[in-house]
Amino acid sequence: MISALGLVVGVLLGLFLQPDVPFWLEPYLPIAVVAALDATFGALRAFLDGIFDDKVFVVSFVSNVLIAALIVYLGDQLGVGGQLSTGVIVVLGIRIFSNVAAIRRHLFHA
Amino acid sequence: MPEVTGRDRLVAALRKPSRGQAVVAVLLAVLGFAGVVQVRANDRDQNFVGARQSDLIALISTLALATDRAEAEIAELEDTRESLQDDADSTQTALAVARERVETLGILAGTVPAVGPGVRVTVESRTGTLGTDQLLNGLEELRNAGAEAIEINDTVRVVAQTGLVDSPTEGLLIDGNPVQAPYVIEVIGDPYTLSTALDFDGGFIEEVEAVDGVVRVEELDTVEIAATSRVPEPTFAEPVEQE
């Protein structure tokens, strides 16, 4: 319940404050958001499996975001930033899909 | 105890918040915040946000190329405009010169009225004594003295093609027009030169006086010549092309 409230509060904050994305963050924010989404869906799956641990969630959330940003940064330095971003998005997308499939099985038994 | 399903856990979590959920809430708030910010930034400036350095450089160089092309075009058009202005100027000059020539030639050919300083020569004589011999000489003298326009009796303009014939009855036929004495010859030119051209030994005045005529010469500041002659179109002669 509180978690859902947290999500709503974050969305409302973003809508009302309308902050500008800092220039240095611009290439990394989209990847970071996707990585965070992956961690969130992973956590929801673990919760439904009964193996959820908030410590694990925090660590995986933060490390997911950091690693994603790091990969993109590395790609930018190597001159393949665009391709690496696509790769990261694809991998995270696959993970999100499989997690959502597991969640669906739990919730709808199908 | 029956097996706990995922759905049961979800329901339980919704009913009983725990400390762990608060941490999750904070992280989810961060996620929501970041997601919304990103979406908004994407909406605002979809062209350039997230664009790679190389893409931006390509964009900039494309723009620079476009600017170069536009500037080259501007320079070209300015050149064209300048050359057109030069053309217009030279056309104007040519037109002015041509107009001047038309005026000069018009006065010489007698097709336009003229005004200027000159002399009025009045020749009086008894009928039948004064004829083309004297008048022709007088006109020649006036021409030699630089007469620019000559008119006789306010009716006939004397030009290069003018012909003088003694009339069988009395007076003269000038270009077919009968002219009676006294003859008033109005001439535009330098008044002093014109008057001296008539007055020398064996000149026009002496010739007229030899047949008992009287010549009066007035030097005037303005002589008006209103009569014009018609210049016939040349039928046979054609101008030679000049390089």
Average pLDDT across chain A, whole number: 84
Higher pLDDT, B188 or A14: B188
Tokens of B206: 């002496």
Residue A78 lies in a domain: yes
Inter-CA distances, B174 with B46, B161, B226, B238, Å: 96, 11, 16, 27
**Res B142 pLDDT > 50:** yes
| Angstrom distance (rounded) from CA B226 to CA B85 | 40
- pLDDT tens-digit series, residues B32-63: 888 888 787 777 655 666 677 888 888 899 99
CB contact under 8 A, A36 and B27: yes
Residue A44 lies in a domain: yes
Spans of chain A, pLDDT less than 50: none
Tokens of B169: 């009855």
- What is the pLDDT averaged over residues B107-122? 86
Complex ipTM > 0.90: no
3-class DSSP state of B222: strand
**Res B2 pLDDT > 60:** no
**Res B1 pLDDT > 50:** no
| Angstrom distance (rounded) from CA B45 to CA B47 | 6
Residue pointed to by tokens 């303005």 = B222
Alpha helices in chain B (DSSP H): 6-15, 19-44, 53-109, 132-144, 191-198, 204-210
Number of C-beta neighbours around residue B222 at 10 A: 9
Shortest distance between the Cα of B64 and any Cα of chain A, in A, equals: 23
Number of C-beta neighbours around residue A4 at 10 A: 14
Confidence of residue B17 (pLDDT cuts 50, 70, 90): low
Closest partner residue to A10 (CB to CB) among B5, B23, B29 is B29
Can you name the CATH fold of B114-225? Alpha-Beta Plaits (3.30.70)
| Angstrom distance (rounded) from CA A48 to CA B34 | 26
As for how many domains chain A has, the answer is: 1
B56 interface with A at CB cutoff 8 Å:
no
Whether the CB-CB separation of B121 and B189 falls below 8 Å is answered with no
B156-158: strand order across its sheet: B156-158, B149-152, B183-188, B114-124, B214-225
**Res B69 pLDDT > 90:** yes
Confidence of residue B72 (pLDDT cuts 50, 70, 90): very high
Residue A29 lies in a domain: yes
Q: List chain B domain ranges.
A: 51-109, 114-225
Residue A84 lies in a domain: yes
Residue B79 confidence (pLDDT): 95
Residue pointed to by tokens 């708030």 = B29
> Which residue in chain B is spatially nearest to A17 when comparing CA positions?
B37
| Angstrom distance (rounded) from CA B95 to CA A78 | 72
Which residues from chain B sit within 8 angstroms of residue A27, using beta carbons? Answer: 50, 52
> Which residue in chain B is spatially nearest to A41 when comparing CA positions?
B28
Residue A17 lies in a domain: no
Give me the domain span that covers residue A35: 23-108
| Angstrom distance (rounded) from CA A41 to CA A34 | 11
Which residues from chain B sit within 8 angstroms of residue A21, using beta carbons? Answer: 37-38, 41, 49
Residue B81 confidence (pLDDT): 95
> Which residue in chain A is spatially nearest to B14 when comparing CA positions?
A1
Closest partner residue to A106 (CB to CB) among B6, B37, B50 is B6
Confidence of residue B77 (pLDDT cuts 50, 70, 90): very high
CA dihedral A12, A13, A19, A22 (to 10 degrees): -110
Residue A102 lies in a domain: yes
Residue B46 confidence (pLDDT): 59
